[in-house]
Structure 1
C-alpha cells in the first residue's frame, strides 16, 4: 500500500517507519508555498509586471501581438535573486526604450502558467530563470539561465537595455 508523503518523507521515509518503496512521489512537482515566493514575485510586480497565474492568463497576454512584450520566467534560485530580477529592474530604469508590456510567470509555483509560457518558445530548453522578448508576437530575444550565471546584474542590465534599444519603439 502506498502512503501520502510530506517533503521530508522523501528524504527520510524511515522517520515514519516507511520504506522508500512505499513512498509515491508526485508526477508533477509540488508548488512552493505562496508566502515563500510572494516577495520574489513582488520584485517584478512592483515595477509594472503582470503576474500570469494560469495558462489562460498566458494565452490572453500572448494574444496581444502588437508591440514588444517582455516575459520573465521567475524562480526562487540565486540566479533569479542575484542577477535576473535586479538586472531587469535596472534595464527598465536605465533604458530610454522599453517593452510595451511586461509579464512574469513563476516556475515552481504557477505550474500551468509556466508550462504554457514555455510553449511559446518550445524549441528552447527549459530554463529558470529566463527572459523572453517578443516583438509583434515573434520571439526576438531569449536569455536563459546559463547566460546569466557568473555575471553581474549590471552587465545583464546593459545587455537587456541594448536589446530594448534595438527592438522596442
Structure 2
C-alpha cells in the first residue's frame, strides 16, 4: 500500500475535475450498477497514469456526450474497491492504469494499460470520446 501523502496529488488530479473516489466494494457496486453510463478509472502511481491516463480521462470529458457518472479507484491503495472494480472488468486481466465504461451495469468499453502506456493523452481522450458517442 502506498502512503496517503504520496497519492494525494494523484487522487486530486481526478477529483478536482469531478471524479468521485470509491474506497469500498459497496461504493463500486453501487456506482457501476447505476442506470446510465459510468466511467471507472483505475488510477495508479506509474508514469503512464500521470502522463497519459489521467490527462486523457480528463480531456475526454470535453465532449457533447459524456458518462453520467465518473469515478475512480486507486491501485495499490483502495484494494477492496480495486478488486471489486476489476471483477466487473472480466474477461480483461487486471491492469493499472485502466479505464472501463459501463452502461446500465454492463461493461461496454475497456482501455487496458497496454492501450494507455506510450500513447499520448489526446489519443486516449479520442478513444474514450468515441465510446461516449456510441454508448452515452
- The bucket for the TM-score relative to the shorter chain is over 0.9
* 1:126-141 aligned within 5 A: 126-141=94-109
Question: Per-residue deviation at 1:62?
Answer: 2.3
Q: Could you list the per-position Cα deviations for residues 116-139 of structure 1 after superposition, in whole angstroms to 9, with x for gaps in the alignment?
A: 111111321011000000011110
Bigger Rg over Cα: 1
Find the aligned partners of 1:57 and 1:137 in 2 and give their Cα distance: 13
Question: Per-residue deviation at 1:60?
Answer: 2.2
Structure 2 unmatched runs, 5+: none
Structure 1 unmatched runs, 5+: 1-30
TM-score (norm 2): 0.96
Moved more, 103-112 or 156-165: 156-165
Tell me, yes or no, if structure 1 residue 79 matches structure 2 residue 74.
no
> Higher RCO, 1 or 2 (CA under 8 Å, sep at least 6)?
2
- SS in structure 2 of the partner of residue 164 of structure 1: helix
Match of 1:96 among 60, 64, 79: 64
Cα distance, 1:63–1:158 mapped onto 2, change above 3 Å: closer
Tell me, yes or no, if structure 1 residue 41 matches structure 2 residue 27.
no
Tell me, yes or no, if structure 1 residue 153 matches structure 2 residue 114.
no
Find the aligned partners of 2:99 and 2:12 in 1 and give their Cα distance: 17
Structural RMSD (CA): 0.9
Question: Per-residue deviation at 1:76?
Answer: 0.3
Question: Which of structure 1's runs of 4+ aligned residues deviate more than 2 A?
Answer: none
Find the aligned partners of 1:58 and 1:155 in 2 and give their Cα distance: 27
TM-score (norm 1): 0.78
